[in-house]
Amino acid sequence: MAEKIKKRRTKKESLLLNMGPSHPAMHGTIRIMLELDGEKVLNSEVEIGYLHRGFEKTCENKTYFQVLPYTDRLNYVSPLINNTGYVMTIEKMLGIEIPERAKYIRTIMCEISRICDHLTCLAAMAMETGAFTVFLYMIKAREFLWDVLEQTTGARMTTSYIRIGGIKSDFPENYKQLIGKAVEETRKVLKDCHGLLTKNKIFLNRTRGVAVVSKEDAISYGFTGPCLRASGVYYDVRKAHPYLVYDQLDFEIPLGENGDNYDRYFVRMLEMEQSLRIIEQAVEKMPRGAIEIKNIEEILEPYKAIQSARVKRPTQNIKLSPNLEGTEKEKYPYILTDDKKYIIPPKEDTYTTITGLISHFKFFMKNHGIRPPKGEVYFSVEGANGELGFYIISDGTDKPYRLHLRAPCFHIMSALEMMIKGGYVADIIPTFGSINMIGGELDR
């Protein structure tokens, strides 16, 4: 490493500086070797791979259902978008349609995740330019959004909520109020942050005209997502290849002009507002789900249900564990596909009927479960960083023969050397913040 950069030294008195792998301002672990002339960056070399966790190889040894938790941990700031991407790739192979309500819920969840991702990115970027208040505010907004996720999915981050054939569970009863509150609080925070940053002279001086990426460069480096749009290219998977219900909702794609750090910041800010719009529309348009279950007194403990099922099938509802809330049998037609082969049977059936038990075992047994037809497929969704594509080859068994992820920030990171060249050392960190590197996705 060091020898290599030494050979490329352009000036005799230049200084070699090593940034990372564990650097406080690095989001994750990455190493940048810098060749400096005073404060100016002459050359640099980026080394990645410190978080290479063998995602692709591991997935080749897991069944299609077991891969799902691993996708959570790719872009860990917006796990639900990763889930959606993976699950929709499998659904494309299997050729299954999911209920309308599930599509809307997926859309809402994706947009909440996108806002969380942008908030985290901008919070870190603002902190690195010296605006610590913005960091605290934005993380506060993220907590409100995560409350919605937590109440719906049962987990804060790694949720595995989007399932093949639908979603894990329906929204809680008070979802309108919950989402309404989160949207309102996020709006407030966005307004505050606009006030703090957008016309702040210090912030403008630090970010405007820094690390400019032209249109041609952005395309040549394979940029997608907010970074590409900041350079002024109109490309968004949600508009180019609409999936879920994005073609039925009204939203705009904000574009930047110069492709500098400020544009990348501003495009993200505007995108969050559009995402809030999408969430509000989707909540309004969403078809109604199952009517809530009545007569709560007659709830049966699972072990009692299993006992009584040996004699006669119980008529009462069965008490499910709290983390299965929203997964009651009545809600299945609204959140999961009709095709029984690809979904886990409702717990009520598993406990009380023999067919339910058999289908439950068949779903999880080796060499059974989900087996897509032979062939290869590529499907992509608009992740928070750009086009998140899954390329999966199936050989007809229950495990993928090959699973490859098109990680958006891998492409963007490959341009980092070009972006920081000729700039100042102090600008490296905001530039690095503005492209939102996520280790799990970059190194897989």
Q: Which residues bind another protein (CB under 8 A)?
A: 21-22, 24, 27-29, 48-54, 56-58, 61, 69-70, 73, 76-77, 92-93, 120, 135-136, 139-140, 142-143, 146, 156-158, 217, 219-222, 224, 233, 235, 240-241, 373-378, 380, 387, 389, 391, 393, 401-402, 404, 406, 410-411, 413-415, 418, 439-440, 443-444
Cβ proximity to another protein: between 242 and 302 the closer is 242
Shortest Cβ 152–another protein spacing (Å): 16
Shortest Cβ 21–another protein spacing (Å): 5
Shortest Cβ 20–another protein spacing (Å): 9
Cβ proximity to another protein: between 38 and 49 the closer is 49
Q: How far apart are CA 70 and CA 153, in angstroms?
A: 17
- Bridge partners (DSSP) of residue 404 are 391
Cβ proximity to another protein: between 89 and 281 the closer is 89
Shortest Cβ 62–another protein spacing (Å): 10
Cβ proximity to another protein: between 306 and 393 the closer is 393
Please return the burial class of 321, using the count of CB atoms within 10 Å of its CB with bins 0-12, 13-18 and 19+: exposed
Shortest Cβ 23–another protein spacing (Å): 8
CA distances from 382 to 148, 182, 229, 237, 389 (A): 21, 22, 12, 5, 9
CA distances from 340 to 315, 358, 370 (A): 23, 12, 11
Shortest Cβ 98–another protein spacing (Å): 17
Nearest to 114 by CA among 270, 335, 255: 270
User: Could you please report the per-residue DSSP string of 381-393?
Assistant: EE-SSSEEEEEEE
Q: How far apart are CA 167 and CA 103, in angstroms?
A: 9
Shortest Cβ 82–another protein spacing (Å): 12
| Cβ-based neighbour number of residue 24 at 10 Å | 7
| Cβ-based neighbour number of residue 295 at 10 Å | 8
**Contact residues for 91 (Cβ-Cβ < 8 A; gap 6+):** 98, 164, 165
Cβ proximity to another protein: between 66 and 248 the closer is 66
Cβ proximity to another protein: between 27 and 206 the closer is 27
Please tell me what DSSP assigns to residue 198: I
Cβ proximity to another protein: between 361 and 378 the closer is 378
Backbone angles phi, psi at 181, to 5 degrees: -65, -45
CA dihedral for 213, 219, 220, 222, sign (positive or negative): positive
Cβ proximity to another protein: between 136 and 358 the closer is 136
The answer to whether the beta carbons of residues 113 and 172 sit under 8 Å apart is: no
Torsion, Cα 283 286 290 294, to 10 degrees, reads: 30
Shortest Cβ 12–another protein spacing (Å): 23
